[in-house]
Chains A and B, each alone.
Chain A
Amino acid sequence: MLYRTAGQFKTSYQADQALFPVRQDAVLLGLILLLAWVIFPLVASEFAFQTLLIPILIYALAALGLNILTGYAGQLSLGTAAFMGVGAYACYKLVTLMPWLNPVVAILLSGAFSAGVGVAFGIPSLRIKGFYLAIATLAAQFFLVWLFEKWGWLYNYNASGAIQVPNLEMFGVYVAGPQASSTVQYFVVLGVVTLLTLVCINLTRGNLGRTWKATRDMDIAAELIGINLMRSKLTAFAISSYVVGVAGALFVFMWRGAAEPNLFDIPLSFRILFIAIIGGLGSILGNYLGAILIVGLPVVLNTLPEALGLPISSATVEHLNIMIVGSLIIFFLIIEPHGLARLWALIREKLIIWPFPY
C-alpha cells in the first residue's frame, strides 16, 4: 500500500532515467540519509561509533569497490585486502611526506596509487578468466603484503614495522590520530563514502556500467558489438582498486589508527568478498546490507547474552558467534543466492502490487 507506483507517470526519458524513478525510494533514501547524517551523530555512543557505524561504512565501501570488479565487470578478485593496504600505505606516505596536505585530500589521492597497482595486476585478466584470474589476484595479495613488510621506506623504517597514524588536523579540528574524536571521524568517513557511492551509482547506470555488464555476461558478444574488452576490464580494475584503496586509507586512518602488514592478509580479502556475495553481486545497496550483517551481527551476538543476563563466558560467546554467523551465511545463500539486495528487490516488487497481485 505504501509502495504504490500508480499515478507516477513519466513524461520524459530524463524522468524515467532519474536516480529514483519511484517516489517512495527517494523518500526512503532521504530518511536513511537523515538518520546517518543527523540522528546517529546525535545519539550514538563512542562504542556504537567504533564498533558499528564507522566499520560498517568502511567495509561497505571496500565491498562496493570489489563489487564493481566482480559483480559488474565479472572479474573475480581475491586481492582486495592488498589493494586496501596500498591505499593505506600510500596515504601514510602522503601525510608524512607532505604534512601540510589536507587529510581528506590525502585519503582521496591515495586511491589513485591503489588504482595504478590494480591496473598492473589486472593485466592478466586480458588472457585468463574465472578461477584462474582469482589465483592471479591471489599473487597480488601475497606479493603486496610481503612488500609492505620488507620495504622499510613504506613505514618510514619504524622499529615496529607498523604504521602509526599521526595527529592530523583539518580546519583546526583533529580528524585522524589519537586525539581525533569519533564523531568527527564518522563524519569524514560518511562524507567520503556518500561521495564515492554516488559516483559508483552513476558509473554503473551509465555507459561504462553497461560496458562492464556486457563484458561480464558474454565477452565475445561484447567485443563484436564494439566493446574494447581491454579497456573495459582495465577501467573496472582501476575504478574498483581506487574505491578499495580509499576504503583502505579510511580503514587505517579513521578507524584502526595503526596497521601492521598482516592486517591486510587474506582473511580481510575473504571478509570483504563475503560481504559482497551475501549483500548481492552486481548491486550497490547490497554492500551496505552485507556489511551491516557481517559487522553488526557479531556485535549484537556479543552483547545479547549479557543483556539477557545469561551467564556465558566470553570465550563461549566468541565460539557461538562464529557458529551462528557461519550458519546464517549459509542460510542466506540458500534462500537467496543473489544476496540480500535481491531479497529486498523481491520484497519491493511484491509491495508495489500488494494487495492485488493480478
Chain B
Amino acid sequence: MKDTEGYMTADGRQIGGVLMELRNITLRFGGVVAINDISFDIREGEIRAIIGPNGAGKSSMLNIISGFYTPSEGELWYQGAKRPPMKPYEVARMGVARTFQNIALFEGMSVLDNVMTGRLTHMTAGIASQALWWGRARDEEIANRAVVEKVIDFLEIQRIRKTPVGRLPYGLKKRVELARALAAEPSILLLDEPMAGMNVEEKEDMSRFILDVNDEFGTTICLIEHDMGVVMDLSDRVVVMDYGKKIGDGAPDEVRGNQDVIDAYLGVPH
C-alpha cells in the first residue's frame, strides 16, 4: 500500500511517498491513556514535527516509533510493510536513529568513539578478527572512521573529536548526539527536543544543521520541539497533540489557524 504520490513544499522540494505510517495507535499505562487512537504518516524526505503542550504524549509517540514502547493497539507500517513487535536494537538496525531529550551520550568515551558507536549497526567483523586487529575488523574500522569523519566535518566538531564527552558544554553535547545518530545513516531520524535549553545562537546553529542534514543527505526527520518559531520555520508538516489525542495535522500555516490548536495552547474559558 505504498503511496508514492508525494507533494511539493513551499520552498520547492519534492517530497516522496509514505515512509512510515502510524495507524490508530493507542498506548496505555495501566489506566492512563497516554496516546489515544492517533494516525499520521511520515513521508520520505520531509521534516515532520510533533508539537503539543507538556504531557500531550509526544515523547511517548517517539518512543513507539523507535521501538522503546510497544503500542497497546494499532499498527505501524514502515517502508511498505507492517512492523511486527520488535526490540529497540532491531528497530535501530532497520534504519531508525534518534536523539534524546535529556542527552544520552556515553560520557566515559571520546567524541570520536561516541560517534563511532553510531556505526555499530554497519559493522559485522567477528570476534576473532577483532581480537587480532587484522583483516575484516581493521578494514571496517578504517572504512567506518572515514564515514564518521565526514559527519564530524559536517557538524563542525573536528576540534573536539578526541575530547571526552563529559568535558563538553551542553550545546556541543547536543551536536555530538546528532552526529552519533547521523553516523548510522538512518532512513528516518527522530529528534526529541533538539533545541531544549539552548540560547538563540545555538538554536540557529542547530536549525541550520537540521535543514542541512535534510537537504544534503535527504534524511527524513521527525522532531519534537517546543519553540514554535523554530517548528513553524523548519517543518513541512506538523502533527499537533493534546492529552494523547491528535487535534491538528497539516502544513504549519494550516495548523496555526486551527481553532483547536489555538485553544489547546491558549486555553478556553469554561
Interface of A toward B, CB cutoff 8 Å? 12-14, 16-17, 19, 199, 202-203, 205-208, 210-211, 213-214, 216-218, 220-229, 235, 282
B68 surroundings in chain A (CB, below 8 A): 220, 224
What is the chain B residue whose CB lies nearest that of A205?
B133
B198 at the interface (CB under 8 A from A): no
**A207 x B140 contact (CB < 8 A):** yes
**B104 x A211 contact (CB < 8 A):** no
A221 surroundings in chain B (CB, below 8 A): 100, 104-106
**B141 x A202 contact (CB < 8 A):** no
The answer for the CA separation of A226 and B120 in the assembled complex, in Å, is: 7
Given A225-B92, A228-B89, check contact A213 B108 (CB 8 Å): yes
What is the chain B residue whose CB lies nearest that of A211?
B120
B208 at the interface (CB under 8 A from A): no
Given A13-B142, A217-B106, check contact A206 B137 (CB 8 Å): yes
B8 at the interface (CB under 8 A from A): no
Closest 9 CB pairs of A and B: A226-B92, A221-B104, A217-B106, A226-B121, A202-B133, A13-B145, A206-B130, A199-B131, A223-B88
A235 surroundings in chain B (CB, below 8 A): 127
Given A223-B89, A227-B89, A282-B108, check contact A13 B146 (CB 8 Å): yes
A213 surroundings in chain B (CB, below 8 A): 106, 108-109, 113
By size class, the interface of chain B is 35 or more
Q: Which of B96-146 contact A (CB under 8 A)?
A: 97-98, 100, 104-109, 113, 116-118, 120-121, 123, 125, 127, 130-133, 137-138, 140-142, 145-146
What is the chain A residue whose CB lies nearest that of B63?
A224
Q: A217-B108, A225-B97, A226-B89 are known contacts; what are 18 more A-B pairs with Cβ within 8 Å? A: A12-B142, A13-B145, A13-B146, A14-B142, A199-B131, A207-B140, A210-B109, A210-B120, A214-B109, A214-B120, A217-B105, A220-B68, A224-B67, A224-B92, A224-B98, A225-B181, A225-B184, A226-B121
Q: Which of B122-173 contact A (CB under 8 A)?
A: 123, 125, 127, 130-133, 137-138, 140-142, 145-146, 149
B66 at the interface (CB under 8 A from A): yes
B141 interface neighbour in A12, A206, A216, Cβ under 8 Å: A206
B145 surroundings in chain A (CB, below 8 A): 13, 16-17
**B104 x A220 contact (CB < 8 A):** yes
What is the chain B residue whose CB lies nearest that of A229?
B89
B82 at the interface (CB under 8 A from A): no
B93 at the interface (CB under 8 A from A): yes
Given A210-B109, A217-B109, check contact A17 B92 (CB 8 Å): no
The answer for the CA separation of A214 and B97 in the assembled complex, in Å, is: 16
Q: Which of B192-235 contact A (CB under 8 A)?
A: none
The answer for the CA separation of A214 and B121 in the assembled complex, in Å, is: 14
B88 surroundings in chain A (CB, below 8 A): 223-224
**A206 x B133 contact (CB < 8 A):** yes
B117 interface neighbour in A17, A202, A214, A220, Cβ under 8 Å: A214
What is the chain A residue whose CB lies nearest that of B66?
A224
Given A13-B149, A210-B113, check contact A225 B130 (CB 8 Å): no
B180 at the interface (CB under 8 A from A): yes
The answer for the CA separation of A16 and B152 in the assembled complex, in Å, is: 16
The answer for the CA separation of A229 and B89 in the assembled complex, in Å, is: 9
**B130 x A202 contact (CB < 8 A):** yes
Given A213-B113, A225-B180, check contact A202 B132 (CB 8 Å): yes
Count how many pairs of residues, one from A and one from B, have CB atoms less than 8 Å apart in the complex. Answer: 105
CB A34 to nearest CB in B, in angstroms, measures 23
A207 interface neighbour in B100, B109, B123, Cβ under 8 Å: B123
The answer for the CA separation of A199 and B133 in the assembled complex, in Å, is: 8
**A203 x B120 contact (CB < 8 A):** no
**A225 x B118 contact (CB < 8 A):** yes
B109 surroundings in chain A (CB, below 8 A): 210, 213-214, 217
CB A208 to nearest CB in B, in angstroms, measures 6
A-facing mask of B68-93, CB < 8 A → 1, else 0?
Answer: 10000000000000000001110011
A211 surroundings in chain B (CB, below 8 A): 117, 120
Q: List 25 A-B contacts (CB under 8 A).
A: A199-B131, A202-B130, A203-B130, A206-B125, A207-B130, A207-B140, A208-B130, A210-B109, A210-B113, A210-B117, A211-B117, A214-B109, A217-B106, A218-B107, A220-B104, A223-B88, A223-B89, A224-B88, A225-B97, A225-B118, A226-B93, A226-B120, A226-B121, A227-B89, A228-B87
**A225 x B117 contact (CB < 8 A):** yes
CB A227 to nearest CB in B, in angstroms, measures 6
What is the chain A residue whose CB lies nearest that of B190?
A224
The answer for the CA separation of A252 and B47 in the assembled complex, in Å, is: 64
**B127 x A208 contact (CB < 8 A):** yes
CB A224 to nearest CB in B, in angstroms, measures 5
CB A64 to nearest CB in B, in angstroms, measures 14
CB A238 to nearest CB in B, in angstroms, measures 9
**B104 x A218 contact (CB < 8 A):** yes
What is the chain B residue whose CB lies nearest that of A210?
B117
What is the chain A residue whose CB lies nearest that of B122?
A226
CB B91 to nearest CB in A, in angstroms, measures 8
What is the chain B residue whose CB lies nearest that of A239?
B127
What is the chain B residue whose CB lies nearest that of A18?
B133
The answer for the CA separation of A215 and B228 in the assembled complex, in Å, is: 35
**A214 x B130 contact (CB < 8 A):** no
Which of B66, B107, B120, B141 is the most central at the interface, judged by chain A CB atoms within 10 Å of its CB? B120
CB A91 to nearest CB in B, in angstroms, measures 21
A-facing mask of B165-191, CB < 8 A → 1, else 0?
Answer: 000000000000000110010000000
A224 surroundings in chain B (CB, below 8 A): 66-68, 88-89, 92, 98, 104
